[in-house]
Amino acid sequence: MVLGGGGLTGVAWLHGVLDELPGVVGTADRVVGTSAGALMAARLLGGRDPNGLRAHVAELAGVRLGAGVVARLVAAQLWPSRRHALKWLGRAAERPTPLASEDFVTLVTRAIGTMVWPEPLVVSAVDAVAGRPAYFTARSGVELGRAVAASCAMPGVMPPVTIDGRPFLDGGLRSPANADLAAGCRRVLVLAPQGRSVRSVRRPSYQAARLRAEGAEVILVAAEHPGVNVMSAAALAGARESGRHAGRSVAAAVRELWTATPDSVPGSVPDAGPAHDRDAGSAIVDGR
């Protein structure tokens, strides 16, 4: 299963979808979480009620997503070298943000409601120094809240999160959903609050098609009208209702998919980035 990123409105949209698909997350053999998706996945896999996220989301709602931040994110997508673009974003992320890094980690840890790493969870992030993706698992030796905070650290909005002396940023900088990390699974449900990317290979739709070409059964659920200001408090109710509508529309298909064959073949998170990421390299952070 894949839960993609999308800021606070992404959290609300995922909440709405999963309202209509009860129990799905807890039965998956592998759950890939990116940014908002990592937060939601960690909370659900920890047995916590997603409604409890509302108060924590309210603490961040209204954080300004300025024009300069949006411009830098778009410019990074257009950069010929993804690695250099991510390193540039890492340098830009050193600017002051409304929250200090450790305060942000504390907030995310409270929002998750548990410090126990769920075995199926894979959290995506980006090494801001190397400009390379990183994937955290239960074997990483990293606190769950810190890994999820790193995955949520949108540059210019949230501070970089330090892990083993290195700053990490939002996993959505690599891909909005990182659905390719579900490679090897026979059945994949991809929930994508944001599907836009300048480079097609990073879009959930492209990655879902690649998974199908490799023999997986894939259901991709993407937000129809994802907003630009993903930190808007005013958009949260609408995003959740949109998610509920999307969840209802696929509920029957998901039930059929989820009661079919076993979810995944033996294996683990890949030891190297997928082919289309080789220009950037890949850093696996799972204790191996």
The pLDDT, as a whole number, for residue 62 is: 55
The pLDDT of residue 155 is above 80: yes
pLDDT tens figures, 40-70 = 999 999 999 888 887 777 676 556 656 566 5
**What are the tokens at 103?**
């305060």
Task: Report d(CA 281, CA 283) in Å as an integer.
Answer: 7
CA neighbor of 219 nearest in space, from 249, 245, 262, 198: 249
Domain boundaries, the chain: 2-259
- Band of residue 28 on the pLDDT scale cut at 50, 70, 90: very high
Q: Which letter, b or e, does each residue of 194-209 get, where b requires 16 or more Cβ atoms within 10 Å of its Cβ?
A: bbebeeeebbbbbbbe
Model confidence at 273: pLDDT above 70 = no
Q: What is the pTM of this model?
A: 0.85
Name the band, by pLDDT with cuts 50, 70 and 90, for residue 192.
very high
**166: enclosing H helix or E strand:** strand 166-170
pLDDT band at 224 (very low <50, low <70, confident <90, very high): confident
Is 109 in a helix, a strand, or coil?
helix
Q: Are 17 and 191 in contact (CB under 8 A)?
A: yes
Please give the angle made by the CA atoms of 219, 32 and 99, to the nearest 5 degrees. 125
Q: Which two tokens stand for residue 276?
A: 């289309």
| More confident site: 50 or 286 | 50
pLDDT tens digits for 206-215? 999 999 999 9
- Predicted local distance difference test score (pLDDT) of residue 122: 98
CA–CA distance, 182 with 262 (Å, rounded to integer)? 14
Q: Cα separation of 166 and 160, whole Å?
A: 9
Tokens for 264? 């995944």
How large a percentage of the chain has pLDDT more than 90? 55
Beta bridge partners of 283: 134
Position 13 pLDDT exceeds 70: yes
Longest pairwise C-alpha distance within the chain: 49
Burial of 166 (0-12, 13-18, 19+ CB in 10 A): middle
Mean pLDDT of the chain: 82
CA-CA distance, 189 to 2, in Å (whole number)?
A: 6
Helices (H), 79-221: 82-92, 101-112, 144-151, 204-213
Rounded to an integer, the average pLDDT of 59-88 is: 65
